[in-house]
Amino acid sequence: MDKKSVSFLFVGLLCGTLAASIGFAFGLSRSGQSEHHTVLRLAHALPETHPVHAGILHMKERLTELSGGSVELKIIPNGLLGNETACLEQVQKGTLDITKISTAPMEAFVPAMQVFGLPYIFRDHDHYWRTLDGRIGQELLLAGQDKGLRGLCYFDAGTRNFYTTTKPVLSPDDLVGMKIRVQRSDVAMQMISTLGGSPTPIPWNELYTALQQGMVDGAENNPPSYIQSHHYEVAKHFVFNKHTRVPDILVINAERYEALPTEVQTWLTQAAQEASVFQRNLWKTKSKEAIEFAESQGVAIYTPDLDPFIEKVTPMYDAIENESVKITLERIRGVE
């Protein structure tokens, strides 16, 4: 082998060693990034125009800022992974990290949350948020951990009100003979029955057709959801009877949460709490805009006397059998 061949061999070996070293270092670098980069998947069934989605986007932004980009919240909206029940089941199984649901489906796992379905238990908006931000609300967030579900925060879903296709519900007597769509909640169904109506559980995504075809005479929800769902097109009577305040809740798989590093848990909790405050402020604006839009579309808005409704549902409180619901109700009434 001549000197020229030896030189080429040496250069080749040197280049190969250098390339291998760079590749190894790059591999370590990428490995380090993946070890310190956390991705959390959050799915919900609402459209991207909904104020709750805006709250979740705020949470995503704050989580990125707090973690310096090391924690990413991947949002899957529009029911792409199924309705609320389907998403909740996925979170419980661990195939999805986080979801947004109404507290109504949580009743099956945390019976005390049935209290939110009871009518007229909150004196006003401030009493409602003092309860949720206080000890009672925070205890309820954690009450489903043994079922694999840990609450992160509440989102405002406003008051639930009746909207109907043929006539307004200005008193409980108007509900007699009417089929009203409700969530799959025992308490919600009991409330409609107590008021004199016929509770009819129907999936949310099937409600527009049900209203249009007369399968139900009405439903009950908050103004933004009433507009987002286009139900104003087929149900032209909206009544602010404010029978319940059922919050939305962000729920994470409990094992997934516990497996996160402590600092990630802290960032996630802080981002969720800040998103809750952001969203509830936005909710006020969006609710006002929703009613103004409804009126522009020919919807009649009513504000009835609430006393007949409150009096009619009073027997529901005495009929409560679940001890945890009784205790929670009394505690809520005692919140100043």
Q: Once rounded to an integer, what is the mean pLDDT over residues 212-241?
A: 96
More confident residue, 5 or 108: 108
C-alpha dist (Å) from residue 114 to 14, 110, 197: 72, 8, 20
Judge whether residue 125 has pLDDT over 90: yes
What is the Cα Rg of the chain in Å? 26
pLDDT the model gives residue 36:
78
- Angle at CA of residue 312, ends 188 and 243, nearest 5°: 45
Is 207:229 a contact under the CB 8 Å cutoff? yes
Mean pLDDT of the chain: 90
Residue type present at position 60: K
Query: What backbone phi and psi angles, to 5 degrees, belong to 131?
Result: -70, -45
Q: What is the mean pLDDT of residues 31-39?
A: 62
CA 211/CA 268 separation, integer angstroms = 40
* Confidence at 120, pLDDT banded by 50, 70, 90: very high
pLDDT in tens, 16-33: 444 444 343 333 333 233
**From residue 289, how far is each of 143, 208, 294, 299 by CA, in Å?**
35, 21, 9, 14
pLDDT at 221 over 50: yes
Average pLDDT over residues 243-252: 96
pLDDT 10s digits, 272-328: 999 999 999 999 999 999 999 999 999 999 999 999 999 999 999 999 999 999 999
Residue type, 241: N
What pLDDT does residue 81 have?
97
Residue 104 DSSP SS3: helix
Distance CA 56, CA 39 (A): 15
pLDDT band of 186, cuts 50, 70, 90: confident
pLDDT in tens, 193-211: 999 999 999 988 899 999 9
| 126 vs 6: CA distance, rounded Å | 84
pLDDT band at residue 35 using 50, 70 and 90 as cut-offs: low
**Distance separating alpha carbons of residues 123 and 195, to the nearest angstrom:** 20
How far apart CA 296 and CA 149 sit, in angstroms, is 42
Q: Are strands 218-221 and 160-164 parallel, antiparallel or unpaired?
A: antiparallel
CA distance 311 to 313: 6
- Per residue in 165-180, pLDDT (tens digit) is 999 999 999 999 999 9
Residue 319's contacts (CB-CB under 8 Å, 6 or more residues apart) are 190
Distance CA(248)–CA(280), nearest Å, equals 11
Strand positions, DSSP E, the chain: 38-43, 71-76, 98-102, 149-155, 160-164, 179-182, 198-201, 218-221, 237-244, 248-253, 300-302
Hey, which residues does 160 pair with through a beta bridge?
Answer: 244
pLDDT at 18: 41
d(CA 230, CA 233): 6
- pLDDT cut 90: percent of the chain above it: 83
